[in-house]
Amino acid sequence: MKPGMVPPPPGEESQTVVLPPGWQSYLSPQGRRYYVNTATNETTWERPGSSPGIPASPGPHRSSLPPTVNGYHASGTPAHPPETAHMSVRKSTGDSQNLGSSSPGKKQSKENTITINCVTFPHPDTMPEQQLLKPTEWSYCDYFWADKKDPQGNGTVAGFELLLQKQLKGKQMQKEMSEFIRERIKIEEEYAKNLAKLSQNSLAAQEEGSLGEAWAQVKKSLADEAEVHLKFSAKLHSEVEKPLMNFRENFKKDMKKCDHHIADLRKQLASRYAAVEKARKALTERQRDLEMKTQQLEIKLSNKTEEDIKKARRKSTQAGDDLMRCVDLYNQAQSKWFEEMVTTTLELERLEVERVEMIRQHLCQYTQLRHETDMFNQSTVEPVDQLLRKVDPAKDRELWVREHKTGNIRPVDMEI
The Cβ of residue 271 has, within 10 Å, a number of other Cβ atoms equal to: 14
Mean pLDDT, the chain, whole residue set: 75
Q: What is the mean pLDDT of residues 91-103?
A: 34
pLDDT digits (tens, 9 = 90+) for 304-322: 677 778 888 888 888 888 8
Asked if 78 and 338 touch (Cβ cutoff 8 Å), the reply is: yes
pLDDT digits (tens, 9 = 90+) for 143-181: 888 788 777 777 678 888 888 888 888 888 888 999 999
The Cβ of residue 207 has, within 10 Å, a number of other Cβ atoms equal to: 12
| pLDDT value of residue 190 | 96
d(CA 111, CA 89): 7
| pLDDT value of residue 162 | 86
| pLDDT value of residue 160 | 83
d(CA 134, CA 4): 17
| pLDDT value of residue 64 | 35
Query: How distant is the alpha carbon of residue 285 from its chain centre?
Result: 45
Confidence class for position 415, pLDDT limits 50, 70, 90: low
Does residue 124 have a pLDDT over 70?
Answer: no
Does residue 223 have a pLDDT over 70?
Answer: yes
The DSSP result for 279-302, as a single string, is: HHHHHHHHHHHHHHHHHHHHHS--
Candidates 36, 26, 258, 30; CA nearest to 141 is 258
Candidates 97, 76, 155, 71; CA nearest to 286 is 97
d(CA 340, CA 76): 8
Confidence class for position 416, pLDDT limits 50, 70, 90: low
Q: Give the percent of the chain with pLDDT over 90.
A: 26
Angle of CA points 62, 63, 68, to nearest 5°: 135
d(CA 174, CA 315): 60
The 3-state DSSP composition of the chain as helix, strand, coil percent (nearest 5) reads 60, 10, 35
Does residue 406 have a pLDDT over 60?
Answer: yes
d(CA 99, CA 222): 88
d(CA 229, CA 385): 21
The DSSP result for 157-199, as a single string, is: E-HHHHHHHHHHHHHHHHHHHHHHHHHHHHHHHHHHHHHHHHH
Classified as helix, coil or strand, 351 is helix
Asked if 121 and 81 touch (Cβ cutoff 8 Å), the reply is: yes
* CA dist list (Å): 409 to 57, 104, 263, 343: 133, 135, 104, 102
| pLDDT value of residue 230 | 95
| pLDDT value of residue 132 | 74
Gyration radius (Cα) of the chain, Å: 41
d(CA 310, CA 7): 42
Confidence class for position 220, pLDDT limits 50, 70, 90: very high
pTM value is: 0.58
Q: Give me the domains of the chain, ranges plus CATH numbers.
A: 161-397 (1.20.1270.60)
To 10 degrees, what angle do helices 303-389 and 209-236 make?
A: 160
The Cβ of residue 364 has, within 10 Å, a number of other Cβ atoms equal to: 11
d(CA 113, CA 350): 33
Angle of CA points 92, 93, 98, to nearest 5°: 120
The DSSP result for 37-77, as a single string, is: ETTT--EESSPB-SSTT-BSS--TT---PPPEETTEETTS-
pLDDT digits (tens, 9 = 90+) for 19-28: 888 787 776 6
Does residue 109 have a pLDDT over 70?
Answer: no
Measured in degrees and rounded to the nearest 5, phi and psi for residue 100 equal -85, -10
d(CA 287, CA 277): 15
The conformation of residue 88, written as its DSSP 8-state character, comes to -
pLDDT digits (tens, 9 = 90+) for 66-84: 333 333 333 333 333 333 3
Classified as helix, coil or strand, 216 is helix
Beta pairing partners, 23: 37
